[in-house]
Amino acid sequence: MPDAPNIVAIIPARLGSTRFPGKMLAADTGRPLILHTCQAAARAPLVTRVVVATDTPQIADAVRPGFDAVMTSAAHPNGTSRLAEAADLLALPDDAVVANVQGDEPEIDPELIDLAVRTLLETGVEVATVGSPFGPGQDPADPNIVKVVADCRGRALYFSRSSIPFDRDGAGARPLKHVGLYVYRAGFLRRYVTLPATPLEQTEKLEQLRVLEHGHAIGVAIAEAHHVGIDTRDQYDAFVARWRRANPR
């Protein structure tokens, strides 16, 4: 793998959440949710630094002094835009590798982060991400689960909230759920925010479609991913229960 010593995991985190207000600071385990995510990202062997990008002082305080935090604008339209500002605030060189880890995924497998990093470095794509087979009980028709279709080279053809691909004759094409993890060079992050928003991006409400619609490549590594993001109080309570079973007092 090409040498890339500067690999920074940046975790965008806001306090606002429609379905679970204040979830980043929920601390039924004894530590805030955002801190669990920082600790998971830090376990990725290739990651050299973990930084939280937030517009909320309470979130920044919650991860310090163990991790760095940068204060970003509250006006960002999406997480990628917030990451680009964070890269500037951190003065990252254009060739630095940035892993975008979602703040509400405290159980993300660190190996998935490393896999996405290796995909970026070894294939030369502008962006790398991960697709996973669906697990038991997960419905490919669920619009809350984003799907991805990749070509024979492992590059994304499309992302959708709809069930793709449509298996018309029962040929058995395997649907893949998209794992919301992205890896970029800092220079491409800066370029992304200069690209106009695109029709499919706005239709599907998926910011990664802007990359494809402007003709850039997204590499898709395939791996089993079983973690779930925390969108609701019920999901958080289930995470807390799993954490307590794994960490009995």
**What does the domain layout of the chain look like in residue ranges?**
7-246
- Residues 121-146 have pLDDT tens digits of 999 999 999 999 998 888 999 998 99
Measure the CA–CA gap between 212 and 105, rounded to whole angstroms.
Answer: 25
The mean per-residue pLDDT over the stretch 92-110 comes to 96
Place of tokens 């790398």: 128
Q: Which pLDDT value is given to residue 128?
A: 98
Structure tokens at 210: 């802007």
Determine the 3-state secondary structure of 212 from DSSP.
helix
- Residues 75-84 have pLDDT tens digits of 998 889 999 9
Mean of all residue pLDDT scores within the chain: 94
Does pLDDT of 170 surpass 90?
A: no
- Inter-axis angle of helices 33-42 and 110-123, to 10 degrees? 50
Q: Smallest Cα–Cα separation from 187: which of 108, 243, 228, 126?
A: 126
The mean per-residue pLDDT over the stretch 89-97 comes to 96
Determine the 3-state secondary structure of 238 from DSSP.
helix
Split at pLDDT 50, 70, 90, the class of 5 is: low
Measure the CA–CA gap between 32 and 11, rounded to whole angstroms.
Answer: 14
Instruction: Select the more confidently predicted residue: 171 or 108.
Output: 108
Which residue type occupies 167? D
Q: Please name the residue ranges forming H helices in the chain.
A: 33-42, 57-63, 79-89, 110-123, 186-192, 199-204, 209-213, 233-246
The mean per-residue pLDDT over the stretch 214-220 comes to 98
Superfamily of domain 7-246: Spore Coat Polysaccharide Biosynthesis Protein SpsA; Chain A (3.90.550.10)
DSSP code at position 23 = G
DSSP code at position 248 = -
Calculate what percentage of the chain has a pLDDT beyond 70: 98
The mean per-residue pLDDT over the stretch 210-224 comes to 97
Does pLDDT of 159 surpass 60?
A: yes
Split at pLDDT 50, 70, 90, the class of 18 is: confident
Close Cβ partners of 127 (under 8 Å, ≥ 6 residues apart): 120, 182, 183, 184, 188, 208, 211, 216, 217, 218, 219
Split at pLDDT 50, 70, 90, the class of 4 is: low
Q: Are 157 and 36 in contact (CB under 8 A)?
A: no
The mean per-residue pLDDT over the stretch 92-104 comes to 96
The mean per-residue pLDDT over the stretch 158-176 comes to 91
10-19, 25-34, 60-69 — which is least confidently predicted?
Answer: 10-19
Structure tokens at 8: 């920074």
Q: Which pLDDT value is given to residue 9?
A: 98
